[in-house]
Every structure is written in C-alpha cells, then in structure tokens.
Amino acid sequence: MIFYLIQNFRSSDFRNWCLALLDLFPHVRHKHLLAGWGWGWGWGWGWGCAGGWVVMATVTPPPTAIVARSGDEALQGHPCGGVPLDGNPWCRSADCYEKIEQIGEGTFGQVFKARDRETGRVVALKKVLMVKEREGFPITAIREIKLLKALRHPNIVNLIEVVMSQASEGNKWRGSVYMVFEYVDHDLKGLQTRLSEAGRKFRPEHVKCLMLQLLEAVNHMHRHNVLHRDIKGSNLLLSDAGDLKVADFGLSRFFLGKNQALTPNVITLWYRPPELLLGMDEYGTAADMWSLGCIFGELLYGREILAARRVDDMEQLELIYALCGTPNEDNWPGVTKLKHWNTFRPAVQKPVAIRERFRSDPNFTPAAINLLENLLQLDPSKRLTAKDALIHDYFYRELPAACLSRDLPKYEASHEWTTKKRRQAARAAAGVPTQEPPAAHDQAGAAAKRPRADM
C-alpha cells in the first residue's frame, strides 16, 4: 500500500511535524517511523514506515492540499468520488457535503452548515485557512485535529472527519481542507446577544446547568494535560437538547506541567488572565479557569464583565484591578518579578470589589460570589481548579438546583456571526451605517491566532 502526503514545507521542526501529522492516521504506526532519511522519491524524500510506505515529499509548484491516495482500488466505486472513511483513515471528498449556509467566520476560517449528501446528517464544516500556503498545512490545524481526536467527551464538540476538495488544475492546485463537526444550534455569545436584545438573561438554574457542563469539559481537558487557551462565549456551543459543547481548539495545546515556557499571546483579551497580561510564560490550567470565571460572571450578569473598549492590555488590567483588587507581593508572591510588572504596576492599591459591584443583582447570591471570587483570584496558584469548582457549594447547597440540560429554554438557532449579520442588516434598513467596528475581543483573538512557532 502506498500513501502519499504531498506537502511543501520549510519547517525546521520536521520530525515533530511528521509525527503530529501521522497521528491523524491511526493505522500508521508512527512509533516505527525510522529516523533519518529513508528513501528517495524523485525531487523529494521519504521516511520508511512499518506497515507501508509513508512519503513526505517537497514538490514544485506546491499543491496546498494534502493529497491522499490509498491505491486505485480503494478509490473506485465510492458515491462521492472520495474514499470511504469508516474504519479507513483516508479523507473523503468535500463533495460528500452540500453547503447550506455560512454560520461563522473567525480568524481561522469560515464555518458552514452543511448536509451529508448520503445520510442527510446536518454538520458544521470548518474550512482550514491556509494563511501561509508555502509553509504547508498549518500546524495549528494539525494540533486542533489531534487534540479533538484525543478528547472525546459529551461536552466537547465531536469531530466527525476531515474532508478535502481535490486539488486540481481547475482550482490552481488549491484544494481546501475542512474539519467536519456535529452541528450545534447555538453559541453562547449569539444566544446571549439574542436574550439581551429581548431584555432577558439566563435564570440561576440555567446558569448552574451550563456551568456544570462547562466545568466537566474543562476538567476533562485539564486531566488530559490540554490547555484550551481561548474559552469565550463564541467558542461554547449549546445544542437544542441543552448540551453545552466546548469548541475551537485552534489555540489549544498539550502541556507538560510547570517550567514549560508557553506563549502568553493567547486567550481573547476580555478573558485573558492577569498573569498572561503581565507576561508570565510558565502558566498552566489556571489560565483557563480565569476565562471560566469571566464566563460565569457573564452568564449571571447578562453581558461581559471585563470588556475593555480598546485592544489595550493596560486598559484590560485596569478593569481587572478595579474588580478583583490590585496585586502585590502579599496577595501574589512573585508578581513583582513578572516581565511587564514595571510597565503595568498599579498606581494605587485597590481592594477586591466583586461583592460591591454586583450587590444589587439577585443572581449574585453569596455562594455565587464566593465561586466567582475564587475563579477570579489574581494569583493563579490560588485559583480554583475545575475539579474543585465542580463540588462548590454554589451547585449543591444553594437553591435553586441546576436544571436538567433538556429543561434549558429552547431558542431559535443563533451564532455570533449570524447575529452580527442580522444586526448589520437591520441597521442598513434603518439607514444607519452598516460597518461595525471590529470588536476588541475579535482583534485580540486574531492577533493571538496567527500561527506562531513558539506556541
């Protein structure tokens, strides 16, 4: 059996790249990948591999899609002209799906609602954006696929398969790669916008139900040494059956524990913890827990609780200092040694003001405030873990109890992108300029999402 992965790459980290890529194809025993150049192939070179040949080749001009071939007999007779998938690792053709409408557009690519032509199943297709095509298939997408395959959980969005449109002369050898996900009707950002437009917000039993599901997912990730690094409303999906699903693993990564330098340029600004803003690069699961605290506050409050108006780390830190108090060596030992401490040190000392700020809102009960204060701890080592948050009094000692997920209210399908488009259309109809300034959190997300070698 011959399997070609044709790719033009210039990465110095070639071996890691091969291993990450091979991981996507379970039948290939990459453990047996031979070190060193194994086999010449025309203008490229290859690696010998037990159970078949794996050829990684450089080609000119570079086709940007992955071209997979498993022998002519495997290609024959499939209704979509692609290759069968079940129990078989080869990619099917994107033609197997019929696009219905666009439902999202992020920094990473477009997302479409689509239907499987054969089974009628509705799915979400996320196009892999080739930002720097000459560098080949993006490492961030490889990481996202790899992590999603490793993290099967009812509260994590299910990756069904990866499909591709064939590179051909017609599309200038630029086939596209799509990740195929189960389709989920809402994201929390779109849903919350709809609710607030109607002057409503989630009730306490709904917030508890959503938070428990979110904590289950994050606890599962952290137990498997995965940091999500972009938890925010538009990346949390909610099905009509009331199941919350964490999505968008484009910035996620495995981490090994302490003393591992990671880039602090992650997590959308409004959800970014103070240790990252202050330049800490040996952070861990507590960074996700801060974002979770921001989501919790947002669900209770009905809108974002730490929303800087500009893309400005200083303004974001000022908001944090005003709500969570100012850091010093007493409440956060070591904070004055952080890289950006001198730039962003607080001018005046302030106390924690969470209780004060939300005093008049009945959603902020004593247990809710206690949980929020523990999630929004400035010192990451004091922040609550997902495991501990799951057994917090807020969920089990204070009424009302969490509702069942199937009892969450039902809404019309709402995603952040479609909600934004609808608002723009309404403004255009009313004669107001349609161009909305890009949201601060989008810009911050975009900056963070550019693939970086040191992620």
List contacts with Mg ion (CB under 5 A).
Answer: 106, 235, 248
* CB closer to Mg ion out of 28 and 141: 141
Place of tokens 């009331």: 242
Tell the smallest beta-carbon distance from residue 13 to Mg ion (Å): 26
Query: What's the full length of the chain, in residues?
Result: 455
Tell the smallest beta-carbon distance from residue 274 to Mg ion (Å): 23
CA distance 111 to 294: 25
Q: Which of 297, 289, 288 is nearest to 201 (CA)?
A: 297
Interaction partner, residue 187 (ligand ADP, Mg ion, none; CB < 5-8 Å by kind): ligand ADP
Sign of the C-alpha dihedral, residues 362, 242, 383, 385?
positive
Q: Which of 185, 230, 248, 313 is catalytic?
A: 230
- Classify 223 as helix, strand or coil: helix
Tell the smallest beta-carbon distance from residue 421 to ligand ADP (Å): 12
Burial of 425 by CB count in 10 Å (0-12 exposed, 13-18 middle, 19+ buried)? exposed
User: In sequence order, what DSSP letters do the residues of 57-73 get, joined into one string?
Assistant: E--SSPP-S------HH
* CB closer to ligand ADP out of 146 and 415: 415
Q: Could you list the residues that contact ligand ADP (CB under 6 A)?
A: 103-104, 106-109, 111, 124, 126, 157, 181-184, 187, 234-235, 237, 247-248, 250, 415-417
Is the CB of residue 70 less than 8 Å from the CB of residue 1? yes
Interaction partner, residue 416 (ligand ADP, Mg ion, none; CB < 5-8 Å by kind): ligand ADP
DSSP state of 414: B
* C-alpha neighbours within 13 Å on the C-beta side of residue 180: 22
Tell the smallest beta-carbon distance from residue 247 to ligand ADP (Å): 5
| Nearest residue to ligand ADP on Cβ basis | 106
User: In sequence order, what DSSP letters do the residues of 298-366 get, joined into one string?
Assistant: HHHHSS-SS--SSS-HHHHHHHHHHHH----TTTSTTGGGSTTHHHH--SS-----HHHHTTT-TT--H
* CB closer to ligand ADP out of 237 and 389: 237
Interaction partner, residue 250 (ligand ADP, Mg ion, none; CB < 5-8 Å by kind): ligand ADP
* CB closer to ligand ADP out of 6 and 227: 227
* Chain-centre distance for alpha carbon 425: 28
CA distance 92 to 178: 10
Tell the smallest beta-carbon distance from residue 47 to ligand ADP (Å): 31
Helix (H) or strand (E) holding 103: strand 97-105
Is the CB of residue 297 less than 8 Å from the CB of residue 305? yes
Q: Residue 246 has which token pair?
A: 């964490």
Mention every residue, 6+ apart, whose C-beta is less than 8 A from residue 100: 112, 113, 114, 115, 122
Per the annotation, the verdict on 230 as an active-site residue is: yes
Tell the smallest beta-carbon distance from residue 96 to ligand ADP (Å): 17
* CB closer to ligand ADP out of 238 and 384: 238
* CB closer to Mg ion out of 82 and 106: 106
Interaction partner, residue 325 (ligand ADP, Mg ion, none; CB < 5-8 Å by kind): none
Tell the smallest beta-carbon distance from residue 157 to Mg ion (Å): 11
Interaction partner, residue 237 (ligand ADP, Mg ion, none; CB < 5-8 Å by kind): ligand ADP
* CB closer to Mg ion out of 103 and 354: 103
Is the CB of residue 272 less than 8 Å from the CB of residue 232? no
Residues assigned a catalytic role: 230
